[in-house]
Amino acid sequence: MYNFPHYSQERDDLSILHNDRIKKLYKSDPPDYSEAVAVQKELRDKVEPKNGFKKVKTVAGADLAIIRGRNKLVCGIVVFTYPELKEIERAWEVVDENFPYIPGLLAFREGPAIIKTYNKLHKTPDVLILDGQGIAHPRGFGIASYVGVLLDIPTMGIAKKKLYGIYNDPKDIAGSYEPLISKNGEQIGVALKTRINTKPVFVSIGHKIDLPTSIEIARVCSKGYRIPEPTRIADKYVSELKKELV
């Protein structure tokens, strides 16, 4: 049983955002689409495609769910040792849904919940894995990059579905992968086969990590399931939280 906050409690879910331009976006109703796209493109230039760590000793998976009818999002993050993948910590948070669903701008909707939950961790992981895209996005700035840049931490995306780009199917061998290519011919990630007889997942960098390291982490974290362990367990955790809430 989880100890949830009262829904009537007043909380400033946007206090975790330090960029005034982004805060203004959240306070507009409806949000200014062109301004959101402009912010996305501006933040894309801040993505660092190189490792911001010497060695990976811990990783974490993050996931969240919508509590429909209550305008709330519930987020859970689970931290593990790496490469052993022994769980060492969990954190969760419920936040207001301050940004509507707009295709291509999902990071603005989900980002604050993930950031607020991350800030509750006692053990900050070396790499945070998001169930979504990093730079494998039409404007090169998905949820993994959004969270990574705003927190200035190493992040990567492992998505169940392709959002953008073209690829060839990898061989039906666990650990095999093929490049995911943008319309401009740039490699923006890989289609990774984590388990035989299943569809690939899509790995891309978020921030402060390179693609070879992201691929290696995704491969190591695949423990016989299609979805790598950190985000798979985070998904189960969020499902439990949501059941308690509704």
Q: 111-130, pLDDT tens digit by residue?
A: 999 999 999 999 999 999 99
Q: Label residue 189 left, alpha or beta by phi (over 0 means left) and psi (-120 to 50 means alpha).
A: left
pLDDT of 9 reads: 37
pTM of model > 0.85: yes
pLDDT digits (tens, 9 = 90+) for 10-68: 344 555 556 678 888 888 888 889 999 998 998 999 999 999 999 999 999 999 999 87
Question: What single DSSP character describes residue 129?
Answer: E
Q: Where are the domains of the chain?
A: 20-245
Architecture of domain 20-245: 2-Layer Sandwich (3.30)
> With 0-12 CB in 10 A as exposed, 13-18 as middle and 19+ as buried, what is 82?
buried
Q: Is 244 helix (H, G, I), strand (E, B) or coil?
A: helix
Percentage of the chain beyond pLDDT 90 is: 78
Which DSSP state fits 53? S
In this structure, what token pair is assigned to residue 194? 């984590």
Backbone angles phi, psi at 40, to 5 degrees: -55, -50
